[in-house]
């Protein structure tokens, strides 16, 4: 029996999306109210263009990404911009899950909140506080 067998079948994109959406549903109301237009996308891995833009060589090194402008930088004068997006990359999440032994729901929650934090322009400390608020 190898290490992957101990985990059973790898969770599919739908299973990861359920955890991410549950995380979003648990956010304090002040945060949740400002996420209505943000798209949540579960993808297998980051594309080459995204990796190149971030200077990342391997797609398994990126578990999530926020595409958009933080709320504090937006202007009411902007129009025609693509909606903000949170990308969760399933393959990288699964590799980190197996390598670290962190529970999958904890890992997906962490990545989701980290990307939401970018939407709000939060510091790492603020992201950790938000994550603690969601867990409680």
Cα gap 83→77, rounded to integer Å? 15
Which contacts qualify for 7-15: CB closer than 8 Å, 24 or more apart? 7/97, 7/98, 10/94, 11/90, 11/94, 11/104, 12/90, 13/42, 13/43, 13/44, 13/90, 14/42
For the stretch 39-59, pLDDT in tens is: 999 999 999 999 999 999 999
Q: Give the dihedral of Cα atoms 108, 111, 117, 123; nearest 10 deg.
A: 130
Range 2-31 average pLDDT: 81
Each residue of 86-121: pLDDT tens digit? 999 999 999 999 999 899 999 999 999 999 888 877
């Amino acid at each position: 029996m190898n290490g992957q067998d101990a985990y059973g079948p790898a969770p599919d994109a739908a299973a990861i999306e359920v955890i991410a959406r549950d995380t979003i549903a648990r956010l304090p109301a002040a945060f949740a109210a400002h996420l209505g237009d943000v798209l949540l996308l579960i993808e297998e891995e980051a594309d080459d263009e995204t990796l190149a833009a971030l200077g990342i060589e391997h797609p398994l090194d990126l578990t999530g990404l926020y595409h958009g402008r933080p709320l504090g930088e937006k202007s009411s004068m902007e129009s025609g911009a693509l909606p903000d997006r949170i990308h969760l990359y399933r393959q990288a999440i699964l590799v980190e899950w197996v390598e670290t032994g962190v529970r999958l729901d904890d890992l997906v929650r962490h990545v989701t909140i980290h990307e939401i934090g970018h939407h709000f322009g939060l510091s790492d400390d603020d992201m950790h506080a938000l994550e603690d608020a969601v867990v409680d």
